[in-house]
Amino acid sequence: MDNQTEPQTLSEEPEITLRCNKCNRPITPAEAVLTPTGYRCKDCVRNQQKVFDTSRTLDYVWAFLAAVIVSFLGSLVGSYLGFYTFLLAPAAGVAVAEVVRFITKKRRSLKLFRLVALAMILGGLPLIAINLLNFLMSLSAGAFSFYSLLPLGYQVLYLALAVPSAYYRLSGRRRL
Ligand SMILES: [Zn+2]
């Protein structure tokens, strides 16, 4: 892809040329990518992105399993805490993130973070399913009350707080 021709500057006005601030190669404005540290050529940007994607295949397997288990344990604790789930859940998210970071030796990738989020949801599903079932049974028994909905609500709250907490912790990002 590199048949860079030096701009002909014999008699014409010299073109505004940029240089990649990493490899110092002259680049045209069209090729230049503005990064937080200045203009870079596309090759250097691509190499930089590889640095942020360091996950190995087994990382996905172990991180997935760990996130399912820790998330499930968190939801189990949450089922005893009730209202205080809102305090536990962000901490559980941090716990998942730290376990994943430990297992993967801090190797990282966007795919890994997303997989961990998915795994946490799966880990929280058993108790959501059980509580949903309980709620439906209380409905069919004609014993509906607001309080029969609470355990289910707390489990949903648990995931709603724990998953973003783990994701931010892993990725250092603000949003999903
Ligand atoms: Zn470059």
Q: Is residue 84 part of a domain?
A: yes
Same domain, 46 and 68: no
Same domain, 46 and 75: no
pLDDT of residue 84: 93
Same domain, 38 and 70: no
CA of 108 to the centre of ligand 1 (A): 24
Same domain, 23 and 45: yes
Q: Binning pLDDT at 50, 70 and 90, where does residue 6 land?
A: low
CA of 19 to the centre of ligand 1 (A): 8
Query: Between helices 85-103 and 146-171, what is the axis angle to 10°?
Result: 30
Protein residues with C-beta less than 5 angstroms from the ion ligand 1: 20, 22-23, 41, 44
Q: Binning pLDDT at 50, 70 and 90, where does residue 124 land?
A: very high
Same domain, 45 and 92: no
Same domain, 87 and 35: no
CA of 6 to the centre of ligand 1 (A): 16
Mean local confidence (pLDDT), 166-173: 87
Q: Decide: 71 and 124 in contact? Cβ < 8 Å.
A: yes
Same domain, 35 and 79: no
Q: Is residue 3 part of a domain?
A: no
Give the Cα separation of 39 and 18 in Å (integer): 8
Whether 176 shows a pLDDT value over 80: the answer reads no
Give the Cα separation of 137 and 59 in Å (integer): 41
CA dihedral 61, 62, 65, 67 (to 10 degrees): -120
Distances (CA, A) of 64 to 52, 93, 111: 19, 14, 11
Most confident of 68-77, 79-88, 143-152: 68-77
CA of 79 to the centre of ligand 1 (A): 53
Same domain, 122 and 137: yes
* Domain extent for 35: 18-51
Q: Of 170 and 142, which is predicted with more confidence? A: 170
Same domain, 76 and 97: yes
Number of separate domains in the chain: 2
pTM score, whole prediction: 0.72
CA of 5 to the centre of ligand 1 (A): 16
pLDDT of residue 175: 44
CA of 171 to the centre of ligand 1 (A): 26
Look up residue 5 and give its amino acid. T
